[in-house]
Amino acid sequence: MKNVAFVFPGQGTHYVGMGLEIAKHYKEANDVYEMANDIMGMDIRKLCFEGPEEVLVKTENSQPTIHTTSIAILKVLEKYGLTGDVTAGFSLGQYSALVYGGSMKFEETVKLVQQRGTFMEEAVPNRRGKMVAIVGLSRDDIYQIVEDSKHLGYIEPSNFNCPGQIIVAGYNAAVDYANELALARGAKATNFLKVSGPFHTMLLLEAGNRLRAELDKVTVDHPKKKYVDNVTGKFYSEDEDLKDLLRKHVFKAVMWEDSVDSMLEHGIDTFVEIGPSSVLTPFNLKTAEKHGIKVNCMNVENMESLDKVLRYFDKVK
């Protein structure tokens, strides 16, 4: 469908019970979970539906379970003939976007994202790094806070989510100090992320390189859908090395606000977030608001939200 983007969430969106309702009602969704079980040699389906949370939250588990849930829900939308002209994913969500775009196969990505999670987990062991979201400050403000915190250890901006929400990450002492500076300099709020390391920083360079070795074992074609990449925040072009972009994305910032900017400039006026939670929808709305553009944003994660999306598209046909 023209002017519609299918977007996929990343790590941190998991919860026990994700995908359960839709898998109960739709064989297409349940088949994806069964496929994941067979490929992974573990009960991905049970982990998504029953947990426990302390196992699900581990990076090497949360990445394949979120990815599986997103693809399971996607299959239901496709059953109804719903499509997006453009696709993008937030960090981990890029792999779901690339499966949707015909660039990669779920049979390979579900194992690949588990490896990605393991490499990320192992990059900075013993919880020596962390991430904090800062609300209400500009990019220039954040860059200055990072500069003023560097004397305590490595730190850099890691996620540009939307106007006024930026995440910084690095070694613990530097991030703690950046949090204090942000609050002192007028931040509306800060929130430490429940993650095990300083993801999307140069501290994960080796994780990205390890991932590239695994990427070289799988097929990655040019997407058949228009695809917006997180590293650049722009539409992918065929002269770019997609495998290298995926390598870089492990240690480069998530340019989500820039990605949404690019989609809005392309004429996208409807965003459908496919996967657990509804994290991207407020980011998309706030970015559109920056431009004074009215957009339709919705998510699909359970039967209620699926029904709303189906009714919306039936109404606008």
Active-site positions?
91, 200
Measured CA to CA, the distance from residue 31 to residue 235 in angstroms comes to 32
What is the DSSP secondary-structure string of 74-89? HHHHHHTT---SEEEE
3-state DSSP call for residue 23? Answer: helix
Closest CA to 167 of 254, 66, 240, 65: 254
For residue 14, give Cα distances in angstroms to 9, 48, 68, 204, 210: 10, 8, 11, 22, 25
Helices (H), the chain: 20-25, 27-40, 44-50, 53-56, 59-79, 93-100, 106-123, 139-149, 172-184, 205-215, 242-249, 256-265, 280-290, 303-316
Spatial CA neighbour of 48 closest among 16, 2, 75, 7 = 16
Element (H, E) at 190: strand 189-192
The neighbour count for residue 111, using CB atoms within 10 Å, is: 17
SS3 296: strand
Beta sheet of 86-89, edge-to-edge order: 226-228, 86-89, 4-8, 270-274, 296-300
